């Protein structure tokens, strides 16, 4: 399995027969300097944690070009269908969908979810985290945008994720110290990758606080944008 960080909360995950994009906020990301067509090539599924623009990103364009199926909450899927996306597969918190050689399970996240229409926020369902369980490979938990919450213990108990994709940018999500506390208190990850930092001035610019607070356990990867890890 290959995991590529595409900046902010965007990831490309390649399993045996699927190419999964999570929260593909690419062209709107000022730090994204990669070849858009290359990093979205072959996409089979687009998983969205919630409806904010810095997570939905380029989803509709990618889906139209590739035929990739959009998997998210009912409200997000219906909203994107109204923008011309034809291949949607909605779910909601607590549910699991089998998608070829992996399953996507929706977990709670403490955040919000909306888009802006005519200068006003439009509700787009509850935010979620997503657990990706491949047929062959380690289970990955993308927390989405979230605060720490005690039911993270249930996410660990139910899904036993081995790799955590953890927001650490503060202000809109957990900061580094609290994110590290969540990792230590509720999970038994083998590896973690920080995200949702450095994109905008309002966010923490580095994951250093998170890395220091982890104290070397579990293993933490801090990839450059576009760097691929094989797990």
CATH of the domain at 96: 3.60.15.10
Q: What percentage of the chain has pLDDT greater than the value 90?
A: 100
Q: Domain residues for 68?
A: 2-230
pLDDT on residue 144: 98
pLDDT on residue 219: 98
pLDDT digits (tens, 9 = 90+) for 118-164: 999 999 999 999 999 999 999 999 999 999 999 999 999 999 999 99
Low-confidence ranges of the chain (pLDDT < 50): none
Return d(Cα 136, Cα 96) in angstroms, integer.
17
- The total of structural domains in the chain comes to 1
Asked whether the whole model's pTM tops 0.95, one would answer yes
pLDDT on residue 175: 98
């Amino acid at each position: 399995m290959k995991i590529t960080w595409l900046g902010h909360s965007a990831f490309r995950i390649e399993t045996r027969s699927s190419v999964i994009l999570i929260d593909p906020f690419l062209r709107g990301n000022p730090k994204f300097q990669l070849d858009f067509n290359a990093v979205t090539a072959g996409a089979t599924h687009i998983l969205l944690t919630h409806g904010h623009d810095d997570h939905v990103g380029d989803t509709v364009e990618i889906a139209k070009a590739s035929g990739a199926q959009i998997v998210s909450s009912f409200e997000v899927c219906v909203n994107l269908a109204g923008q011309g996306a034809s291949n949607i597969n909605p779910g909601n918190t607590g549910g699991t969908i089998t998608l070829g050689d992996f399953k996507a399970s929706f977990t709670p996240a403490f955040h919000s979810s909306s888009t802006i229409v005519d200068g006003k926020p439009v509700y787009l369902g509850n935010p979620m985290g997503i657990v990706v369980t491949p047929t062959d490979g380690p289970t990955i938990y993308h927390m989405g945008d979230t605060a720490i919450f005690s039911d993270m213990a249930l996410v660990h108990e139910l899904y036993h994720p081995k790799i955590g994709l953890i927001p650490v940018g503060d202000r809109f999500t957990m900061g580094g110290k609290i994110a590290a506390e969540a990792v230590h208190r509720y999970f038994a990850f083998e590896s973690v990758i920080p995200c949702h930092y450095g994109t905008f001035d309002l966010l923490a610019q580095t994951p250093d606080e998170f890395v220091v607070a982890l104290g070397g356990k579990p293993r933490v990867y801090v990839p450059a944008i576009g760097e691929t890890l094989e797990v």
